[in-house]
Amino acid sequence: MSISIPSDPGVQDRLHAHLAGCSQGSRNAFEGMLSSWSASSDASFPATPVQVRDFVRAQAASGSTGRPLRPQSIRLMLRHLSNLHARILHVDDPTRHILVTSEMKALFRERGSLARPTVPLRLKGDVADIVNDDPLPGSIIAMLRALKGDDSPWALRARVILGLGADTGCSRSEYVAINIGHVFVMADGTGTVLLGGPPRYLSAETMAFISAWILWREAVLPSSTRPTDALLVGIDQRHRPATRLTTDGYVGVLQDIIKRVGCGVPVSGNSFRAGLKLDLAAIGATPIAIANVLGFKEL
């Protein structure tokens, strides 16, 4: 990477502390912002407002992959760029300068807000009483019930994905980064999983799903169950474990689950996170508690 962040010990300490407090998804997004900056600018940090404005224009024109980015994606990049300057470098935030804010306003006026709202995947669906009401069709519990008795490789993996989603509410980038060695079983059958921050709780049901999935992989291809191997992998045409799922591959598998045993709604990689946030609110969790569970700094 051709860009340079000042090597001052204080700056580096704040950088490491900031990244340590982020989820895996946030860290990936921060690194993606740095990569995009490197691809479109030879400027080191701290950046000037003019350089940030030119960065916005470059992302809107072609991005780092040759495709124009949506205004919403550029705004997320600017959020990480803002954190870099205000929280890590301790300098004025160039993203708040009128040159940058005016450029973003013009971009939103020109292209509009094209983002579709995230469809939440909830434990029981949109019920009035999350404790006592029966699960609705398309909910996580209803899909798990629909998979009961199906021990095909596809169903074994589907149960793991649904269980992880119900318990942790993470983003797709965090799920595909999980290795088998990141999962730990407790004496009572529950477990924890390491996702870049504090360990996340896993229910006994989810741990049973993971165990069945790993046992199948061990029987079919023992070399696919090492601690450093991915928990979520593809399934090849011979019904054998394949390589680690990519983020797009994960979303494709999740959408296939919804089509087969759900309601066919257009889910995304953040649908579990959106659903868990609503479920926690439904049982009376405070915004601070929800943010802590989901690994957010704020809601």
Q: What is the pLDDT of residues 260-275, one digit of tens each?
A: 999 888 888 889 999 9
Q: What is the pLDDT of residues 68-124, one digit of tens each?
A: 888 888 998 999 999 899 989 999 999 999 989 999 988 888 876 555 677 899 999
Mean pLDDT, the chain, integer: 88
Contact between 64 and 35 (Cβ < 8 Å): yes
Q: Could you tell me the pLDDT band of residue 132, with boundaries at 50, 70 and 90?
A: very high
Q: What is the pLDDT of residues 142-191, one digit of tens each?
A: 999 999 999 999 999 999 999 999 999 988 889 999 999 999 999 999 99
CATH 1.20.1090.10 fits 9-111, yes or no: no
Bridge partner residues of 142 (DSSP): none
| Amino acid 115: pLDDT | 53
Sketch the domain layout of the chain as residue ranges: 9-111, 140-294
CB-based burial label for 179 (10 Å; 0-12, 13-18, 19+): middle
Strand residue runs (E) in the chain: 183-185, 191-193, 200-202, 233-235, 241-244
Task: Return the CATH number of 140-294, one of 3.40.30.10, 3.40.1010.10, 1.10.443.10, 3.40.50.300.
Answer: 1.10.443.10
Whether the per-residue pLDDT at 43 is higher than 80: the answer is: no
C-alpha distances in Å from residue 145, one per residue of 124, 139, 141: 12, 10, 6
